[in-house]
Structure 1
């Protein structure tokens, strides 16, 4: 990450570098999550030349597994698809993504970076060469593009399918405990808050009340989100969660093509998914660590050691 962030800054011209660089202690800019098409801190890829844009993508790739990087690139490409569906009225484009670096990756022991735009936000914080990976948001609109009834684009399909498989495996009693509302919320509940809620009630069904099949499916669903990270980081996060309590909650109808939502809560873990437009074809997903987002965990350890 240090090498890729340094290569990005070196590839930027001076005006773009000025827009991309921020102080690490600029909390409003650094603790930032925005997955709507809004102005945001950083340098826009649309304003960069090919070399600098490629450097930005290479930095993003250091934070994501190959599968998650493919999902992220599909999300970016969907901007053009959505713009066409909207009759070109809003001028959406695949260059409307922004990169920001906080601190100096070449010299500082505390620095961070973010790659963000509509339906994509990836934040990484590095302290004493320890990487704190969250939040990671991926969305898709349209969630599915079909031809003759078959999907030709569905970047977040696994996140929906595996959750439905889990819901089906719960059985009547398990579903009664897991379904916390008849209607889905309008959006993920953590939204764009710089600090995610540590606990959302009602919690749903605890993992230890599931059948062996249900527990295995819940573990696979958690692993699907952790595997957005490179293997080393994913394994570290899985080890941190091992043995901890997990809850699964669902809201809305169970049938496909209807507005629905689910979440998983654990020890410093919040996973949310929603598909809540009227036609059920606009998905949001996020992986957050409520007590550790934006490097709060590694910063606390750094301060304890340094002071």
Structure 2
């Protein structure tokens, strides 16, 4: 489901605009900037992605001239719908809010712990090539794109988070809450389930400390939370763990989050992502419930540029919805939408349920895996 149509004019428009902007940015770079910005298409870094406050690899906004920063953000805008771009821009700005929340004292082994200049762009291959791609990411943002024959063919994994998830604004009750709509839509869906449906949808009475898929490049039939494994292979923190002091800090953050969830190995096994989806199947929902679930899925798919994705089938064949945690707003919670070539995860658990993560994935076609498989099949030698 949600495949990119092979004749998508919107995909060609987006791919062409991306190629122009990427080529212009490359031409503007100095000899010192280019090694950070560019990698070969086949570089293994292409499928590496993070959502933690570590070096994501590439040319950071803070290392770019103002005109280059604008060009980078124009490229980001081409990869997103207008609402998604606004959300990503707000998330980047939240680094300043989070800095204040933490007393301007967070130490990540650099001059400034929370820094909106630390979002990195990397280009894989050349915009003139038949196959190329790019990545933009930093704390709570990871955008990944593949362009084939001038057409945008992959726009996942797409991660957007928010910390704080809710920040007060002037005007008596106003809030900056970039992910509030997809949180409330899911809660509304759950609130409308019958008791029998809820027993099937409830994956666990309490929420996990993070999304289960973590930042894996490939989904496996069973996945445990990345927090349980990243200290061994730097799955979430990258080179930051080379510094023993930072490794200790990252471990403490994960341990505190795990302790707050109260999870043990049996709980993680219960939440595992398997080949057969868990939760309530859409086929056992009422028409109104399916319409609500369909709208929630479209909210995630609308992160992509308008018209690029084929419409999600309203039948939702094979799609399941699961929830973990209490329903009352303000409590830690998690939900998952899982179906054919579709995985959505959302959690708001940390910082007393004021720190949200969301990811939209197409497990069979993330990073253009389906395109590459088709190419290898047609060109075996």
TM-score, with structure 1 as normaliser: 0.94
Deviation string 1:113-138 (CA, Å, 9 cap, x unpaired) is 00000000000011233421110000
Q: Does 1:223 align with 2:298?
A: yes
Q: Which deviates the most, 262-271 or 146-155?
A: 146-155
Deviation string 1:258-278 (CA, Å, 9 cap, x unpaired) is 110001001111000000115
Contact 2:282 2:317 in 1 (8 A): no
How far apart are 1:243 and its partner, in Å?
Answer: 5.1
2:42 aligned partner: 25
Q: Does 1:212 align with 2:287?
A: yes
Q: Which deviates the most, 34-43 or 121-130?
A: 121-130
Q: Does 1:45 align with 2:58?
A: no
Aligned-pair Cα RMSD in Å = 1.7
Report the Cα distance in structure 1 between the residues aligned to 2:330 and 2:150, rounded to whole angstroms: 44
Report the Cα distance in structure 2 between the residues aligned to 1:208 and 1:197, rounded to whole angstroms: 25
Paired residue for 1:102, among 113, 118, 124?
124
Q: Secondary structure at the match of 1:134?
A: coil
How far apart are 1:302 and its partner, in Å?
Answer: 2.1
2:232 aligned partner: none
Over 3 Å counting, the alpha-carbon distance change for 1:198 and 1:217 in structure 2 is farther
1:263 aligned partner: 336
Over 3 Å counting, the alpha-carbon distance change for 1:76 and 1:110 in structure 2 is same
Q: Secondary structure at the match of 2:352?
A: coil
Deviation string 1:275-295 (CA, Å, 9 cap, x unpaired) is 011510000000011111111
How far apart are 1:13 and its partner, in Å?
Answer: 2.0
Q: Secondary structure at the match of 1:231?
A: coil
Q: Does 1:288 align with 2:361?
A: yes
Aligned residue runs from structure 1 range 233-248, under 5 A: 233-234=308-309, 236=310, 238=312, 244-248=317-321
Aligned residues: 303
Q: Which deviates the most, 207-216 or 167-176?
A: 167-176
How far apart are 1:71 and its partner, in Å?
Answer: 0.3
Deviation string 1:124-160 (CA, Å, 9 cap, x unpaired) is 0112334211100000000001258723200111110
Q: Secondary structure at the match of 1:299?
A: helix
Contact 2:55 2:138 in 1 (8 A): no
How far apart are 1:167 and its partner, in Å?
Answer: 0.5
- Larger relative contact order (C-alpha < 8 A, sep ≥ 6)? 2
Report the Cα distance in structure 2 between the residues aligned to 1:198 and 1:126, rounded to whole angstroms: 28
Paired residue for 2:191, among 168, 177, 184?
168
Q: Secondary structure at the match of 2:174?
A: strand
Q: Which deviates the most, 143-152 or 97-106?
A: 143-152
1:156 aligned partner: 179
